[in-house]
Amino acid sequence: MTDRRVVARPAGLRPAWLVAGVLSVLVAMLLGLAFGSARLPPASVAVEIFNQLPWVRVDSGLSDREVAILIKLRLPRVVLGLLVGAMLALAGAAYQGAFRNPLADPHLLGVAAGAGLGVTAVIVLGAGAATELPVGVPMAAFAGAVIAVGLTWLLGAAGSRDRSPAALILAGVAVSAFLSAAQTYLLQRHVESLQQVYSWLLGRLSTAGWHDVLVILPYVVVTGVIVLAQRRELDVLTVGDAEAASLGLHPQRSRYLLIIAASLGTAAAVSVSGLIGFVGIIVPHTIRLLTGPSYRSLLPLSVLFGAAFLTLTDLLARTVAGDAEIPIGVVTAFLGAPFFVLVMRTMKSMPT
């Protein structure tokens, strides 16, 4: 009876946390637009963004050059960072709920490696030679991601049917190693693409316009709608498949839908940003510590705080070393490695 009462009335999303999430996105967006190699006044940036609305005419005080930097260079990059961060955090939370595993993450499950192999194959075959992202790249990444998560799921049951967290993580490591080896083989056979793929592997949000944003936007919308619509089902899945089935849920069907949707979002994000790790662990677990384990609040807040987190991380990556830009994947790894150790230490006290 206790489990049914918990599932029937899970903690909802508190308005205060929703407001905090929206404010974090706005602040991160403003800082990302204002600071960089050319510093712009934050107040003028806010006014100029408002000035871009068709029915508004106000003077921000920015020069034509500064407006061009803001609108043509920084705004597309910041929006891309918001989308990628939201997808990686949402996918991490969805995987953790679907697998009932607090360590589930697009990278640890091999999903990012599979998506990376798909993108690498497109690049070395010549479809990625252009500076803009080909429309077919997210689909190639999605195919690799689905294959990877399927292999991880099958290998995780090799030792036992319960797919324990340790078994899934070990399976994900094995799948990632195999797919990385396949990626290395492709690069050895096509050394002319080495620099392009290597730059992509380290993670980056460099974009010269809105093309990348428009390419991944449909995938982001589809993933967001599907996963957010399943937040009640994720709360039910936390009590176990047998109990969930007794409450009228189809556990396997819901799980497969969530895995496919999360893999689609991960693949779209990876295809434009490269391998940016640990976002799917840092953001959902921080939200759990602050608001509780209910997915009714965890999923929408992961979208908001994930978007803000990656935007601020990208700002750090392109400003902390002066004129030299640090790959964003390196920054998230520095932040995520100690956080992962913390999650490992507190794993026994977390619901799985």
pLDDT of residue 4: 44
Spatial CB neighbours of 135, under 8 Å, sequence gap ≥ 6:
215
Identify the pLDDT of residue 70: 94
- The pLDDT score that the predictor gives to residue 351 is 45
The predicted structure's pLDDT at residue 118: 87
Residue 13 CB neighbour total at 10 angstroms: 17
Report angle CA 339, 342, 343 to the nearest 5 degrees: 90
Q: Among residues 19, 263, 292, which one has the least CA distance to residue 153? A: 263
Question: What are the mean pLDDT values of the chain's consecutive 10-residue runs (352 residues total)?
Answer: 45 86 97 91 93 86 92 93 96 90 79 85 67 65 86 76 68 89 87 76 76 89 95 87 80 87 88 86 91 92 97 92 82 84 65 44
At 302 the pLDDT is 96
Distance between CA 212 and CA 119 in Å, rounded? 14
What class has domain 2-7+73-349?
mainly alpha
Angle at 180 between CA 176 and CA 184, to 5 degrees: 175
